[in-house]
Structure 1
Amino acid sequence: MGERFGQACAVRQKGLKMTLQAELRSMLIRVADVLLEAIFPTRCYVCGTFFPRPPEKALSAKGYWSKFAETFPDNLDYQKVVSPFLCPSCSKGFTLVEPPICRKCGFMMNTSSENDPLCARCRTSPPRFRMARAYGVYDQAFRKAIHEFKYREAIGLVRPFELLLFSTFLRHWNPEDIDIILPVPLHITRLRKRGFNQAYVMFRRWPRMAEILNADWPDIQVRPDMLVRTRATESQVGMTQEERQANIRNVFRVRKPS
């Protein structure tokens, strides 16, 4: 009897110790969050204003992705995706790409029909690619966020952008039909200056994301080394479509054509 009582007391003490440890750990995490927010307050990547730190900000990449598993890829809440990185006001500066859209370039149109599924530009000057799609319209705060990521080294924005891009890929393409994913390469001088290729960092973790989000992912190669930019080009900001085409003509080559 005494032995059983002693064992019961030992179990209770162990349980109490574990409870106290868990509470202490939780308290230390809260204190660390307060100190971190005091030293490094959350600041909007677009407008620069400070705003209350959302819970998602403290999550690991895995934890952040898991928050969207139930609605991925068809029903992502854009404002929830960007809330750790943009203030509430800038989170609203976004327009989702919705039908009707051009069958080829993905541009939103006022009207569309099976007899006329292409926009005016694709009818008069058909692009050489089969299909292009985008998650959002390139304007408002969304455009500013892309510029911050691409030109001002706001690498933290890779989390929402890679998630939005991956959802767009899965909604419009069948992964079984894809063999290789290639990023458009930067010239070596621009890569050294910028420090990263924004095209590559947005899909380098897709295989891992597919695992966390329970998305189908066949054996697709992600190859950042297959294309080469042979010469430096001018920045395309502010250029017309014709000027952009002339700027990058004969700039890329395949490293191993076989």
Structure 2
Amino acid sequence: MTHRAATRPVRIGVQIAPQHGSYAQIRDTLNEVEELGADIAFNWDHFFPLSGDREGLHFESWTMLAAWAEQTSRIEIGALVNCNSYRNADLQADMARTIDHISARGGDGGRFIFGTGSGWFERDYAEYGYDFGTVGSRLDALAESLPRIEARWARLNPAPTRDIPVLIGGAGEKKTLRLVARHADIWHSFSSPSTLEHKLGVLAGWCEREQRDPAEIEVSVELRHRTIADADAMHALGATLFTVGITGPHYELGPVRDWLAWRDEKNAG
């Protein structure tokens, strides 16, 4: 199996990069993104800007997500993605459960998505005193953490309001995609259409080994530098969650509007 037709509705995520803007700008941008009808608002889990002035303004992910949970009422929220290395696994589970409850409205369940990955930005590790290790050791740590997180969710009182969706970012074929097959509800990558087709074949192989139906896993891709033709091609392969990134200091929403119109056209068809 190398590809599959999309069976889920198309969703648009907006990654509001927590860099180069004031928190007031981020708060206002989140309001606008929710009002425009985006499905998910993401930030990222870093301590310094990833582009532009590397000493520029920047804010921390998890505390921001708790504020977003209280501020919003409809949109789902999460990090794209949390860095597993920065926090104890059981603490991550408890933080996620708490944000899940903060985000719940009335009798509805929470809106938190637990996006996670093994980490990669060495400056974060060096300046905050974490052991950078190797790509392999960080992936091994993520593999150890995910069962602990799931087990802690089962023991917490109160329990999460819903089965918190797990999003795993990355496309490594030997370890990451196996973790996706074993644990993820959503798989996120930066793949091109041709690469995505190949990776989906690898993921299907891991799903077979893990006795998992690959159709259970939502396929998520980035829209940065992608054309409508690219997005159409990835949708034809099975991608249904498409994320557009915006960054400070101006947080331009034009691309968000354009991709939301594309989403609506896809879902209407």
TM-score (norm 1): 0.28
Structure with larger RCO (C-alpha < 8 A, sep 6+): 2
TM-score (norm 2): 0.28
Higher strand fraction (1 or 2):
2
Q: Which is greater in Rg?
A: 1
